[in-house]
Amino acid sequence: MEKIKRILIPLLALALSGCLAGCKNTKDTYRTLEEIKKDGTINIGVFSDKNPFGYVDENGNYRGYDVYFAERLAEDLGVKVNYVSTEAANRTEYLQTGKVDVILANFTVTDERKEEVDFALPYMNVALGVVSKNDRIVRCLDELGTDDAVIVISGTTAETYLIKNYPDIPLQKFDSYATAKEAFENGTAVAWANDNTEVIAFAMQNKGYTVGITELGSSDTIAPAVTRGNTTLLEWINKEIKKLGKEQFFHKNYDETLADTYGEEFKETLVVEGGKTD
């Protein structure tokens, strides 16, 4: 019996230490509201190549609808912003590893993502859309053949939707919007599926393209996301969104950052004020 104990005890200790090392407490991956205030800086993940929502201008400054919102969050929290450039595929990872405190990068709310991150109240409506060249406008995905590739960004709802509903359509997947845009302009695919806000902006900013499908699948919302369990930060952001709604902040944000692209036509369709979608 003593011999068995001498063998088992070290093994149990090794297994326990391995679990402690590999099973890191979720709390260790995020900073609470008070910790962020004490530090004086909030880390916010945004896109750097998705004009007009999150991008870097010619002077090296972050701009766009999401950035405008981020600046106000930091101002009302009394801290500075450290922007962390993110891509669609690593938004969840950046939260889970503590690289950012908040994601403001056109993050569509889905049931699958709710299992991995905590979403605050929404601040924009969104659906999927499809843009194509004017010499072959795609108005229905059913018209595409098995040789007709569609571009998607890895980690987006467009990728998930097409894999599930149109498994026979070949997908060209890219990690960044810049590389997807370049490939699309070079004619490597017949269409690009993405958030309708993005493809509409692309068609407006680039001649020779048309959004043949403005709403694909269901309508969704975009919201800030925090690490699961970060209740203090989540509750503060929700209160902030409600407060900003009373001053019509997101309508002003639209006027400052999106109106040049979309005009007045899409304002009431896209903007969610105070977290209320109806």
Distance CA 14, CA 42 (A): 38
Tokens of 94: 């950046």
Q: ω before 52 within 30° of 0 (cis)?
A: yes
Q: Per-residue confidence at 16, pLDDT binned at 50, 70, 90?
A: very low
Global pTM reads: 0.84
> Looking at residue 265, what is its pLDDT?
85
* Per-residue model confidence as pLDDT tens digits over 27-45: 678 999 999 999 999 999 9
Q: Would you say residue 15 has pLDDT above 50?
A: no
* Per-residue model confidence as pLDDT tens digits over 255-274: 999 999 998 988 999 999 99
> Looking at residue 278, what is its pLDDT?
75
Helix (H) or strand (E) holding 193: strand 191-195
Find residue 227's DSSP bridge partners: 117
Average pLDDT, the chain: 91
At position 5, the amino acid (one-letter code) is K
Is residue 104 a contact partner of residue 66, using CB atoms and an 8 Å limit?
Answer: yes
More confident residue, 34 or 3: 34
Q: For residue 21, how many other CB atoms are within 10 A of its CB? A: 8
> Looking at residue 22, what is its pLDDT?
40
* Per-residue model confidence as pLDDT tens digits over 210-253: 999 999 988 999 999 999 999 999 999 999 999 999 999 999 99
> Looking at residue 277, what is its pLDDT?
85
* Per-residue model confidence as pLDDT tens digits over 191-216: 999 999 999 999 998 999 999 999 99
* Per-residue model confidence as pLDDT tens digits over 152-183: 999 999 999 999 999 999 999 999 989 999 99
Q: Would you say residue 8 has pLDDT above 90?
A: no
Distance CA 38, CA 84 (A): 20
> Looking at residue 26, what is its pLDDT?
53
Phi, psi of 135 (to 5 degrees): -80, -10
Listed in sequence order, the residues at least 6 apart from 22 whose beta carbon sits closer than 8 Å to its beta carbon are: none
> Looking at residue 24, what is its pLDDT?
40
* Per-residue model confidence as pLDDT tens digits over 45-72: 999 999 999 999 999 999 999 999 999 9
Q: Per-residue confidence at 21, pLDDT binned at 50, 70, 90?
A: very low
